[in-house]
Structure 1
Amino acid sequence: MTAAAFDPQKLSIRRMMLKDLDDVMRVETRSFTAPWSRQAFVGELVENRLARYVVAEYDGRVVGYAGFWMIMDEGHITNIAVDPDFRGLKLGERLLEAIMSMCMALGGRKMTLEVRVTNHVAQNLYRKYGFERVGVRKGYYTDNNEDALIMWVDLPPKVMRDREVQA
């Protein structure tokens, strides 16, 4: 999908449902070298009362998703993925905004995540929304033993406060 062909009117962000899992798994396997299993997503949606997930739906097709766990007053981001054919259209940004807003609505004061040390695109997105590097988890990723940066943000971050003022 090119930016010129992308029609924002055809995009919606909504809660993930079990019926979305075929599309979610397609995005998952195209996005990660160590993808989650379908059963892991079922568990998140059905059994994990702390989990909250959203999808980006474009013209009736799920093209991205994001999720987090709400633990006390902290949101722990589990994953954000955008179909490779839809990258570069700011969908990751829209998904991050959606889960940050959801976390704040649930009383969240902070959010955290782990991100591969080599994933500079994601790190730049997180920094744009106020996330700061606070540590490293050595060998965090099981597919290649890559380290993960630990990032945290206080909510609401400056970027979102500025948007609220402009709205």
Structure 2
Amino acid sequence: MSLEDIPGVVEIENLSFPTPWSESSFRYELQENPYASLFVARTRELTTVIAFACLWIVDQEVKINNIAVHPVYRARGVGTRFLRFLIDHAASQGCREVTLEVRPSNQAALSLYRKAGFVPIGRRKQYYTDTHEDAIVMWLRVEPRAAP
């Protein structure tokens, strides 16, 4: 992800979440946070951002903090391919596990994560401040490997 991608990322963020991250939050993650890695997926023409993710990589663990696909591109395999890319990236960085939180009401995301091999390992009570909904904590074991 580059600074030029942020407007497209913010658009997807606003369309995807009831309490979206701000533009300044993405700028901070991109420019200031030493643990953050941000990625985008684009159309084949490479002109439009259609998905994004913000990861934190600490030691041998990746935490997916934020991930979304533009609503127009959902249910087309974009999320599956993008998540697989992120998992492969984690493995190439020598990571052994990937974690994330997801709303129980987000059935599409839960299905995506389960299909990718994530398993629920706990709950964070009233994690989401907008609805006081719990978060399901999910975990995936990955085999670390050297970057190509």
Q: Structure 1-normalised TM-score?
A: 0.82
Partner of 1:28: 13
Matches within 5 A, 1:14-163: 16-58=1-43, 59=45, 60-156=47-143
2:146 matched residue in structure 1? none
Q: Distance in 2 between matches of 1:33 and 1:126?
A: 20
CA distance in 2, matches of 1:44, 1:144: 25
Structure 1: which 4+ aligned runs deviate by more than 2 Å?
none
Aligned to 1:144, the other structure's residue is in SS state coil
- The size of the alignment, in residue pairs, is 141
Structure with bigger gyration radius: 1
TM-score (norm 2): 0.92
Structure 1 residue runs without a partner (length 5+): 1-15, 157-167
Residues 50 and 70, structure 1, Cα contact 8 Å, conserved in 2: yes
For the 8 Å contact 1:139–1:146, the answer to whether it is kept is yes
- Cα displacement (A) at 1:120: 1.3
Name the % identity.
42
Question: RMSD value over aligned CA atoms?
Answer: 0.9
Give distance in 2, aligned partners of 1:95 and 1:53: 12
Checking the alignment, whether the CA contact within 8 Å between 1:80 and 1:95 is kept in structure 2 is: no
Question: For 1:35 and 1:138, how far apart are their aligned partners in 2?
Answer: 20
SS of alignment partner, residue 39 of structure 1: helix
